[in-house]
Amino acid sequence: MKFLDLAKVYIRSGGGGSGCVSFRREKYVEFGGPDGGDGGTGGSVWAEAVEGLNTLIDFRYQQHFFAKSGQPGMGKQRTGKSGDDIVLRVPVGTEILEEDEVTLIADLTEPGQRVLLAKGGNGGWGNLHFKTATNQAPRRANPGQEGIERTIWLRLKLIADAGLVGLPNAGKSTFLAATSNARPKIADYPFTTLVPNLGVVGVDGKEFVMADIPGLIAGASEGRGLGDLFLGHVERCSVLLHLVDGTSETMMEDYRTILAELAAYSPALAEKPRITALNKIDALDPETLAERRAALEAEAGRVIPMSGASGQGVQDVLRALWARIAEGREVDGDQEDAPWRP
């Protein structure tokens, strides 16, 4: 399945049906009068977050969603049939934006969450509504209300507890494959990962979701490489795992590059809790490992040595990630339970 995390969609709700001008004319009925029915209500356009989807690819092949209009009213006080609603089924974590791609309409982060995007037009009144003591035979009815037409953007941000960041070939896909059932592409050339991958990771009987995004390079915020197209997928994470290639001759420069690109994309993302891991230690001798770990710790603080290929230190990294995730969940729970204050 192809991955798509941004789609432009055109929607229009249905217009209301017109009211009916009709009079009751039946044999042997002494009193006639107006009996025109109301028009039906137009169909509305909704968006709903559903489970089982992780891409917006369906909206590449269909961008227009038009709800049906309500039917006109009829005689004998019969109301026209209402138009059917249209529901856009999107993955959990989808943001809905106005046409300017900035104004947020809704953020669907829970399965079953729904939002009304365009309400259907009301049906017009039939002439029965206009009967008065001085106007016993009104010959007027209201037209139906027009539908709403708008252009929106759908932007998917995958929901994960932890996010992997690092330069291409830092070992992110190898780490995800070693710790979960995810099977991302792994190769010895840069930009092996072209789309985000999710994996469920287990440690000490606990489980959390980890996201692997394509590697960043210097100038990604300006569009180099794959740019920062996929950084939005780690914005929702509680913690970031920064993997640093311990075999790189420019290790410190690599470390600073990632921090600079995170800050250029979003200061809030750069300030997220971050675990730094020195990867590929199986390819280093003890003396080189000690030197490079000390150099990295001088700037990054605590550094966990590990190897995704051999499994060394992987459990330590997972436990550190879970500690941060659990801490974040406790804070969120306290905020939910706290009394509201004006």
Give the mean model confidence (pLDDT) for residues 294-316: 89
Task: Report all structural domains of the chain as residue ranges with CATH numbers, in order of start.
Answer: 6-156 (2.70.210.12), 162-337 (3.40.50.300)
For strands 149-156 and 6-12, give the pairing: antiparallel
pLDDT at 238: 87
Average pLDDT of the segment spanning 2-28: 89
Inter-CA distances, 318 with 202, 231, 279, 330, Å:
8, 21, 14, 18
Phi/psi-derived region of residue 49, left when phi > 0, alpha when psi is between -120 and 50, beta in every other case? beta
Q: Which residue has the tokens 């106007």?
A: 135
pLDDT score of 89 more than 80: yes
SS3 of residue 243 by DSSP: strand
Which residues are known binding-site members?
Answer: 166-173, 191-195, 212-215, 279-282, 307-309
The pLDDT value recorded for residue 141 is: 93
User: pLDDT-based confidence at 335, cuts 50/70/90?
Assistant: very low
- Per residue in 261-275, pLDDT (tens digit) is 888 888 888 888 889
Please name the amino acid found at residue 128: L
Work out the mean pLDDT of the chain and round it to a whole number. 84
Cα gap 102→122, rounded to integer Å: 30
Confidence tier at 2 by pLDDT (50, 70, 90): low
Portion of the chain with pLDDT greater than 70, in percent: 87
Per-residue pLDDT of 158-178, as tens digits, reads: 878 888 888 887 888 888 888
- Give the lowest-confidence range in 122-126, 130-134, 229-233: 229-233
**Alpha carbon distances (Å) from 342 to 89, 335, 337, 339:** 36, 14, 15, 10
Annotated binding site for Mg(2+): 173, 193
* pLDDT of res. 115: 95
Per-residue pLDDT at 338: 40
104: pLDDT strictly greater than 50: yes
* Number of alpha carbons in the 13 Å side-chain half-sphere of residue 229: 15
- At 64 the pLDDT is 95
Q: Give the dihedral of Cα atoms 78, 84, 85, 88; nearest 10 deg.
A: 180
pLDDT tops 70 at residue 294:
yes
pLDDT higher than 90, residue 9? yes
pLDDT number for residue 195:
67
Distance of CA 221 to the CA centre of its chain: 21
What pLDDT was estimated at residue 184?
A: 56
At position 4, the amino acid (one-letter code) is L
Q: Where are the alpha helices (DSSP H) in 182-313?
A: 251-265, 267-270, 286-300
Q: How many helices (H) and strands (E) does the chain have?
A: 6, 16
User: Which amino acids are annotated as binding site for GTP, given as ranges?
Assistant: 166-173, 191-195, 212-215, 279-282, 307-309
pLDDT in tens, 191-228: 555 567 778 888 888 888 888 877 676 666 666 655 56
User: How is residue 271 written in tokens?
Assistant: 């300030």
pLDDT confidence bin for 339, thresholds 50/70/90: very low
Pairing of strands 104-108, 239-245: unpaired
**pLDDT exceeds cutoff 60 at 186:** no
